[in-house]
């Protein structure tokens, strides 16, 4: 049997992710990729992978896997803080651990944050699609969402030096998003624009990899009607008919017809990926 991982517990939403499919938006293909890219890179560094090696991204409930076809695998669980065990015995979170063949590595439910990252020496190597191994929930490209019994192939460990320890950022108690205005801010009243940068919003339970949906005051339009579909970018703040902003994340559609009141700087989106439902959100002009 070739080296790989057997999925013992899939969790609520666990996917394979790497840096994503950059450069295909003109064909209607979203970017996908790890929502918290810095966490993915740190996890890969700890097991000696290149920064863009494919990892597992978990959502809230974690997952459990078992190495097969290999004597042992160097692994790390990072991102959202959680309890980690190997065959029921506690091991370190955020640091490399050796997992023997047949042993179960279990990343428990998130205690802080939302998305965890499991990296393995050699990386996950399912068949790439358009240059990426990432699962895209919008288009359906890439590996499917994990299910119990799935087998994921592992690559050969490289010679990249491993780090012993790295600093992991904590989950945000409050999410502060730098906002660049436009391109359709003229579609909203002056009061709506003031509200956007002064009011407090909260992360909605309806948020997902496509968008960070917010609960809070609605933004009133200055003009009615709909736009022809136009290109959308990562971090675009689109305002649907209910007036509540949606911040587009990695699996966002490449076009849309609702007005975009502003764009959040990409550097802030890693924190957005770890913002659990109920987290307070503020926009500040960039």
pLDDT by 10s per residue, the chain, length 286: 799 999 999 999 999 999 999 999 988 999 999 999 999 999 999 999 999 999 999 999 999 999 999 999 999 999 999 999 999 999 999 999 999 999 999 999 999 999 999 999 999 999 999 999 999 998 899 999 999 999 999 999 977 667 777 788 888 899 999 999 989 999 999 999 999 999 999 999 999 999 999 999 999 999 988 889 999 999 999 999 999 999 999 999 999 999 999 999 999 999 999 999 999 999 999 9
Same domain, 141 and 19: yes
Domain boundary among 91, 120, 153: 153
Residue 185's CATH number: 2.40.100.10
Same domain, 140 and 178: no
Domain boundary among 153, 183, 209: 153
pLDDT for the residue numbered 7:
98
Q: By C-alpha distance, which of 132, 126, 135, 117 is closest to 154?
A: 126
Q: How far apart are CA 10 and CA 168, in angstroms?
A: 24
Residue 136 lies in a domain: yes
pLDDT for the residue numbered 153:
98
pLDDT for the residue numbered 130:
96
Residue 238 lies in a domain: yes
Counting the structural domains of the chain, the total is 2
Q: Beta 63-68 vs 72-81: how paired, if at all?
A: unpaired
Rounded (10°) CA dihedral 283, 170, 253, 124: 170
Before 205, cis peptide (omega within 30)?
no
pLDDT for the residue numbered 128:
97
Same domain, 87 and 16: yes
Residue 35 lies in a domain: yes
Same domain, 86 and 225: no
Q: By C-alpha distance, which of 88, 77, 82, 3 is closest to 40?
A: 77
Residue 163 lies in a domain: no
Same domain, 108 and 191: no
Same domain, 215 and 116: no
Same domain, 18 and 123: yes
pLDDT for the residue numbered 161:
67
Tokens 């863009």, located at residue: 52
Residue 169 lies in a domain: no
Residue 40 parent element (H or E): helix 37-46
Same domain, 241 and 141: no
For 211, the domain range is 174-285
Same domain, 97 and 136: yes
Using the 8-state DSSP alphabet, how is residue 179 labeled?
Answer: E
Same domain, 84 and 206: no
B/e letters for 175-203, b = 16+ CB within 10 Å, e = fewer, are bebebebebbbebbeeebbebbeeeebbb
Residue 166 lies in a domain: no
Same domain, 236 and 181: yes
Instruction: Quickly list DSSP for 48-90.
Output: T--TT-BEEEEESS-EEEEEESSSEEEEEEEEEE--EEETTEE
Same domain, 143 and 198: no
């Amino acid at each position: 049997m070739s080296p790989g991982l057997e999925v013992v517990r899939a969790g609520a939403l666990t996917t394979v992710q790497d840096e994503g499919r950059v450069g295909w938006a003109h064909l209607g293909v979203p970017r996908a990729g790890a929502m918290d890219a810095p966490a993915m890179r740190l996890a890969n560094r700890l097991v000696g992978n290149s920064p863009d090696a494919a990892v597992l991204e978990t959502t809230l409930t974690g997952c459990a896997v078992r190495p097969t076809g290999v004597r042992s695998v160097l692994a790390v669980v990072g991102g959202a803080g959680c309890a980690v065990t190997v065959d029921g015995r506690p091991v370190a979170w955020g640091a490399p651990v050796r997992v023997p063949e047949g042993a179960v590595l279990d990343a428990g439910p998130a205690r802080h944050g939302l998305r965890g990252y499991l990296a393995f020496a050699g990386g996950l190597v399912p068949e790439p699609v358009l240059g990426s191994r990432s699962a895209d929930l919008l288009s359906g490209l890439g590996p499917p969402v994990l299910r119990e019994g799935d087998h994921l192939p592992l690559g050969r460990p490289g010679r990249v030096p491993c780090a012993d320890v790295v600093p992991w950022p904590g989950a945000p108690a409050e999410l502060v998003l730098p906002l660049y205005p436009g391109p359709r801010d003229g579609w909203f009243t002056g009061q709506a624009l003031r509200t956007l940068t002064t009011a407090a919003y909260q992360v909605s339970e309806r948020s997902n990899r496509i968008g960070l949906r917010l609960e809070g005051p609605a933004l009133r339009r200055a003009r009615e009607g709909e736009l022809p579909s136009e290109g959308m970018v990562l971090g675009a703040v689109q305002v649907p008919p209910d007036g509540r902003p949606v911040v587009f994340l990695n699996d966002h559609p490449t076009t849309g017809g609702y007005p975009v009141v502003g764009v959040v700087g990409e550097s802030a989106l890693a924190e957005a990926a770890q913002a659990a439902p109920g987290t307070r959100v503020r926009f500040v002009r960039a």
